[in-house]
Amino acid sequence: MNFIKQVILVVAIVLPFIMNGQNAYNQKKEYGYNGPVKKVTAYMVNVVHYIVPSDTLNYFGKSTMNFTKNGDVTTYNRFYNMPNYLYKSKAIFSGSGKNISYKESSKVNDAAEVNMNYKFVWVDPLKYEIKPLSQNDSTSRFITLNPDFSIDKVNFKALNFESEEKASYHYNSENQLEKIVYKVTSTENDVTTVKDDVRVIKSVDIFNNATVIYFYEKEHSRFPKSVVFRYYEYY
């Protein structure tokens, strides 16, 4: 799988962590944030030699998201510095509620910058396609939501590759979300693999938004593979 596909699957850092029970859809609910969120900055740090990082000093990935007071995303920027890959992207969103479109510019290593336009096209009240508006992009992405607008599953398809990420949510005795397990099924060149992607919430802020998240390759792994640190600004 090439790096662009990996980045798409990392919906990393952006997948939901908290339920939100209001009736109208917005992106803040889909991403799982509570309270009057204005900006979310996330850093991804690898676990090296079984030492779990306690700060963001050696981060390899960073993302920033800005929201309106109504919970719509205005900008979403990402940066990943991985072995042999340097990926940068900037997305500018327009619209509100379910009427969303965005322009994204991305760059891998020294390749030319790629500029694409996308639009949310709703199939039913809880499912939409992120539809590319360029004939040069043949990818297909469908997002299926739960009744609270958290993500149920993500389906992605490209030439000779397709994947499905199915989420299951785990709560403690106080009904607080403590873990999400993604069952990731991917097929490339007719070869299918199935793996788990486990995120465990280690700490939250006063709005019950996750601030430290451990990422595991398996549900019962002893050590995480990476840690995400999130910082929030509120209105």
Q: Which domain holds residue 184?
A: 3-234
Residue 120 sits at the vertex; the CA angle it makes with 27 and 125, to the nearest 5 degrees, is: 75
pTM of the model: 0.88
The two tokens of residue 163 are 């994947």
216: three-class secondary structure by DSSP: strand
How far is residue 30's CA from residue 149's CA, in Å, rounded to a whole number? 5
Please write the tens of the pLDDT for every residue from 161-205.
999 999 999 999 999 999 999 999 999 999 999 999 999 999 999
Average pLDDT on 56-78 reads 98
- Pairing of the two strands 177-188 and 191-204: antiparallel
The Cα–Cα gap between 129 and 177 comes to: 27
Distance CA 132, CA 98 (A): 16
> pLDDT at position 11, please?
47
Q: Specify the number of domains making up the chain.
A: 1
